[in-house]
Structure 1
């Protein structure tokens, strides 16, 4: 298959996203200006603004990119020959690991603040993106189709799982109430979450 050649604009955009993430990690989101982003990306400030209207929009695009690579592109194919709980745990642990990335918290805080005061169309675009089918949703659908669960709607079950996770492994850290979970706490949360969902839906 012939690989499509990237346009100059696409190359510039990728350089900006890479440079911005590097600048955010080095200086922190709050202390990173569009000038610093342009310098880190080796492009002009005008070029940065040609692609992104503000730092907040740029932050949101980075979050979307991380989300896509971590939860959408990530894949654990359902296997009827492997222990169900083992597969389920792997997917839930991936969700928890994503929500506990320390470098991610500051980006999310900026994006949340921006989204609260952004236009309805921007919020709609964000909602549409985060409603994409993740690896966990795909797995739940396949396991459900195979008769492993009873009375399950995969989308609703996914929302229940995310609700259980974010109550301990996202909002307390975003709001700076708690420190990120330890590896042991992540495993414990994953096991408790899987157990609750399996108690609710597992076919007897």
Structure 2
């Protein structure tokens, strides 16, 4: 059982949550530290004690976005397990991350700011790209094992993740649609796996 957060940690998290809400509502540039303090229910001095600048607060949001993805690394390729089963596990893990409400809130803020100020979000984009490289590494291992006879690992990785995001990320981030229900998640993962195996001439 996790220990309860200390008061200072609760205030820090309240500030981050308030910043996410305000950045989503009005954008980074239009959001003031005063407004963040009011939304968090703390003093402006408390906000600055935790985050000396708005840029550092935004950097914390990007850090949490990265941490939420890094916390769920894909399992390594296992030559003893059927490829289809491993793909299902791989994509189900990815689906769980994409449909997490906190992750989606963080992504909305980061992507919106990346559009308005690409330089500010360069680190986030680079680190998320690095994270998605793990699936490419998994595909290379499967190909080396003779399980994928025609798929280019980089292209295949983009196809697999892009298909999930078409249904389970971009509509939620850009159109504020609700997360997919469990049955729809299952259908999207199942269809993605079967289409990929057909494309890759895989031995499932």
Is TM > 0.5 for Structure 1 vs Structure 2? yes
Aligned length: 183
Q: Where does residue 117 of structure 1 map in the other structure?
A: 116
Partner Cα separation in structure 2 for residue 118 and residue 161 of structure 1: 29
Q: Where does residue 53 of structure 1 map in the other structure?
A: 55
RMSD of aligned C-alpha atoms?
3.1
Q: Where does residue 170 of structure 2 map in the other structure?
A: 171
- Quick check: 150-159 or 44-53, which moved more? 44-53
Give CA deviations for 1:97-139 in whole Å, capped at 9, x if unaligned.
111112322222221221212253x333222211214442232
Partner Cα separation in structure 1 for residue 112 and residue 183 of structure 2: 31
Q: 1:68 aligns with which of 64, 67, 70?
A: 70
Contact 1:115 1:123 in 2 (8 A): yes
Q: If the length of structure 2 is used for normalisation, what is the TM-score?
A: 0.74
Give CA deviations for 1:159-191 in whole Å, capped at 9, x if unaligned.
111211111111111233632111111111111
- Mark the CA change 1:95 to 1:20 in structure 2 (over 3 Å): closer, same or farther: farther
Contact 2:171 2:177 in 1 (8 A): yes
Residue 142 of structure 1 deviates from its aligned partner by 0.8
Partner Cα separation in structure 2 for residue 86 and residue 22 of structure 1: 40
Matches within 5 A, 1:1-204: 20-21=12-13, 29-30=21-22, 33-34=36-37, 44-50=46-52, 53-70=55-72, 74-120=73-119, 122-134=120-132, 135-176=134-175, 178-203=177-202
- Quick check: 82-91 or 23-32, which moved more? 23-32
- Mark the CA change 1:133 to 1:180 in structure 2 (over 3 Å): closer, same or farther: closer
Q: Structure 1: which 5+ runs fail to align?
A: 1-14
Contact 2:95 2:168 in 1 (8 A): yes
- Mark the CA change 1:88 to 1:22 in structure 2 (over 3 Å): closer, same or farther: farther
Contact 1:21 1:62 in 2 (8 A): no
Residue 76 of structure 1 deviates from its aligned partner by 1.3
Q: Structure 2: which 5+ runs fail to align?
A: 1-7, 26-34
Contact 2:149 2:202 in 1 (8 A): yes
Helix, strand or coil: the match of 1:53? helix
Helix, strand or coil: the match of 1:125? helix
